[in-house]
Amino acid sequence: MKTVKDAFDVFKNKLAPLYEVTEIESIASLLIEELTGLSRTQLKAFPERGLNVVQSERLLTQLSCLKTGMPVQYILESAHFYGSDFKVNPSVLIPRPETEELVDWILKTIGHQPYQKILDIGTGSGCIPISLKLNTIDNEIFALDISPKALEVAVANAKLNNLDISFFEADILNHDLTARSLPEFNVIVSNPPYVTETDKQQMHQNVLDFEPHSALFVPQSNPLLFYVAIANFAVTHLVQNGYLFFEINESYGPETVDMLAAKGFADIELRKDLAGKDRMIRAVWPG
Ligand code: GLN
Full-model pTM: 0.94
Q: Check: CB of residue 151 under 8 Å from CB of residue 208.
A: no
Give the pLDDT confidence of 188-217 residue by residue, as tens digits: 999 999 999 999 989 988 899 999 999 999
Atom of ligand 1 nearest to the CA of 191: 9
Is 76 within the bounds of a domain?
no
Asked whether residue 198 falls in the same domain as residue 103, the answer is: yes
Give the pLDDT confidence of 213-251 residue by residue, as tens digits: 999 999 999 999 999 999 999 999 999 999 999 999 999
Residue with the nearest Cα to atom 1 of ligand 1?
96
Is 77 within the bounds of a domain?
no
For residue 115, how far is its CA from the centre of ligand 1 (angstroms)? 30
Report how far residue 227's alpha carbon sits from residue 219's, in angstroms, rounded to the nearest whole number: 13
Could you tell me which residues are beta bridge partners of residue 166? Answer: 142
Asked whether residue 215 falls in the same domain as residue 146, the answer is: yes
User: Is 144's C-beta closer than 6 angstroms to any atom of ligand 1?
Assistant: no
Is 72 within the bounds of a domain?
no
The mean pLDDT value for 99-117 works out to 94
Closest CA to 199 of 182, 216, 212, 215: 216
Asked whether residue 46 falls in the same domain as residue 116, the answer is: no
